[in-house]
C-alpha cells in the first residue's frame, strides 16, 4: 500500500498558494529601493560638484551642493519612514532648484538646465503623488525652464568659469541626462512589460490553485483541435471532481476547502506530462487535456491521479482530512466540438458519482473502480 501524503503546505493564508501577484507592498518596496539608490548616486554626484565648484572658486554653488547632499540624506531618512511621497517631492524639488541656481550662477552653457527636462517626466510618472499636485508642480518646473531659456541663455553668469571647465560641465551634464533618460525609458518599458505579463496571467490563471482557468484551457483545446486537423492524433479529456467537497466546506470552513483545492491541484500538476494541460474548471472540478493519448493510454494516468488524491491527508486541529475524487475519461473525436467531448466526460463523471464515487468512468466504454 503506498504511503499517505500529508499535505501541510504553508500555514499562512490559502490565497498565498495561488498565482503570485505584484501586491502594492511589493511594488512600494521596489520603488523605495529605486529612490534610495537614486539618493546615494545623487549625493555622491553633488559631492563631486561641490568639490569642482570649490576648486573653481564658486563658493555659493559649493554650499548649494552641500545643501543638496543634506537634502538627499533627509530624503533617504523619509524613505526609511515610508514617507515616499514627501521624499519624492524633496528629490525633484532639489533637482529643479539646483538646476536653476547653477544656470544663474555659472551660465546656460554649463548644461545644468538639462536636469529640469528629467524632473518633469519623472515626477509625472511617479505613482505616489496625486495628479493635480503632479501637474501643478511639473507645470511650475516647465515655466521655470522656459524663463531660464528666455533670459539666461544669453545673460552673463554671476561667476565666470574657464571655457574648458564649462565645456566639461556641459558634456558631463548632457551625458548624464541622456543616460538617465535612457535608463528611465528601459525601466518604464520593463514595467509595462511586467504589467502586460501580469494582466495575461490574471486572464489565464486561476488565482487560488495556480492552474489554468476555464478560458485558457478552452483556448488550448481549440488549438489542439486545429493541430489534429492538420495532423490527426488522439487526445484524451479527463474531468476530475473532488468527492463530498461541500461537506469539507460545511464542516471545516472555506479556508480548509481552499487547502483541499490546492492540494488536489498540486497532485494533478505533478501527475501529468509537460505537454498536457490542467485547469480548474469550476468549483471543485478540474479539466485535463492529454494530447497524443487515447483512453487506453490515459487510463493509467487517471488511476495515478485518483490514487494520488486518495493518499492525501490534510491536517486540521483535531484530525486529518482524507480526500477522494471521481474522474470521467473520454477521447476527443474527429471534427467534434470541444463542448460535446467535455459533456461526455461530465456524463461519465456523473455516473461515477452515482455508482459510489472514488472511481474512474471511461466514456462510452465502462467503469474502473478503486
Terminal Cα distance for the chain, rounded: 13
Rounded to whole angstroms, how far apart are CA atoms 240 and 280? 9
- Least Cα distance to 237 among 152, 327, 365 occurs for 327
- Looking from the CA of 101 toward its CB, the CA atoms found within 13 Å total 17
| Set of cell numbers at residue 193 | 512589460
Instruction: Please report the sign of the dihedral spanned by the C-alpha atoms of residue 121, residue 194, residue 220, residue 227.
Output: positive
Number of neighbours of residue 84 by Cβ within 10 angstroms:
19
Active-site pick, 94, 224, 284, 285: 284
Q: In what order do the strands lie in the sheet with 325-331?
A: 277-282, 285-291, 235-242, 325-331, 359-362, 366-369
Instruction: Please report the sign of the dihedral spanned by the C-alpha atoms of residue 298, residue 299, residue 303, residue 309.
Output: positive
- Least Cα distance to 92 among 25, 187, 203, 180 occurs for 180
Q: Judge contact between 216 and 204, C-beta under 8 A.
A: yes
Rounded to whole angstroms, how far apart are CA atoms 278 and 269? 7
Match 529605486 to its residue by C-alpha cell.
34
Is 284 annotated in the active site?
Answer: yes
- Looking from the CA of 193 toward its CB, the CA atoms found within 13 Å total 6
Q: What residues act catalytically?
A: 284
Amino acid at each position: 500500500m503506498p504511503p499517505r501524503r500529508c499535505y501541510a503546505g504553508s500555514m499562512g493564508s490559502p490565497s498565498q498558494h495561488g498565482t503570485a501577484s505584484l501586491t502594492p507592498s511589493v511594488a512600494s518596496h521596489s520603488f523605495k529601493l529605486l529612490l534610495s539608490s537614486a539618493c546615494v548616486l545623487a549625493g555622491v554626484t553633488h559631492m563631486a560638484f561641490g568639490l569642482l565648484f570649490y576648486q573653481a572658486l564658486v563658493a555659493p554653488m559649493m554650499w548649494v551642493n552641500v545643501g543638496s547632499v543634506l537634502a538627499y540624506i533627509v530624503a533617504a531618512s523619509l524613505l526609511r519612514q515610508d514617507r515616499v511621497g514627501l521624499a519624492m517631492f524633496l528629490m525633484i524639488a532639489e533637482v529643479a532648484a539646483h538646476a536653476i541656481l547653477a544656470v544663474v550662477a555659472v551660465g546656460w552653457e554649463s548644461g545644468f538646465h538639462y536636469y529640469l527636462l528629467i524632473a518633469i517626466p519623472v515626477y509625472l510618472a511617479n505613482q505616489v503623488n496625486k495628479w493635480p499636485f503632479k501637474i501643478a508642480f511639473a507645470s511650475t518646473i516647465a515655466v521655470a525652464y522656459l524663463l531660464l531659456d528666455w533670459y539666461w541663455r544669453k545673460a552673463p553668469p554671476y561667476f565666470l568659469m574657464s571655457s574648458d571647465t564649462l565645456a566639461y560641465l556641459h558634456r558631463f551634464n548632457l551625458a548624464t541626462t541622456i543616460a538617465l533618460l535612457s535608463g528611465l525609458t528601459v525601466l518604464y518599458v520593463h514595467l509595462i512589460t511586467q504589467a502586460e505579463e501580469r494582466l495575461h496571467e490574471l486572464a489565464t490563471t486561476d488565482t487560488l490553485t495556480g492552474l489554468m482557468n476555464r478560458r485558457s484551457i478552452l483556448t488550448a483545446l481549440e488549438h489542439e483541435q486545429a493541430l489534429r486537423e492538420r495532423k490527426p492524433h488522439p487526445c484524451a479529456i479527463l474531468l476530475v471532481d473532488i468527492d463530498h467537497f461541500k461537506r469539507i466546506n460545511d464542516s471545516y470552513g472555506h479556508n480548509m476547502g481552499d487547502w483541499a483545492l490546492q492540494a488536489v491541484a498540486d497532485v494533478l500538476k505533478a501527475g501529468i506530462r509537460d505537454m498536457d494541460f490542467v485547469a480548474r474548471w469550476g468549483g471543485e472540478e478540474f479539466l485535463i487535456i492529454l494530447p497524443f493519448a487515447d483512453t487506453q493510454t490515459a487510463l493509467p494516468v487517471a488511476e495515478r491521479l485518483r490514487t494520488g488524491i486518495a493518499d492525501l491527508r490534510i491536517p486540521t486541529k483535531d484530525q486529518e482530512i482524507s480526500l477522494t475524487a471521481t474522474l470521467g475519461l473520454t477521447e476527443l473525436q474527429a471534427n467534434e466540438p470541444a463542448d460535446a467531448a467535455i459533456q461526455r466526460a461530465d456524463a461519465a463523471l456523473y455516473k461515477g458519482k452515482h455508482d459510489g464515487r472514488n472511481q474512474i468512468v471511461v466514456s462510452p466504454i465502462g467503469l474502473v473502480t478503486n
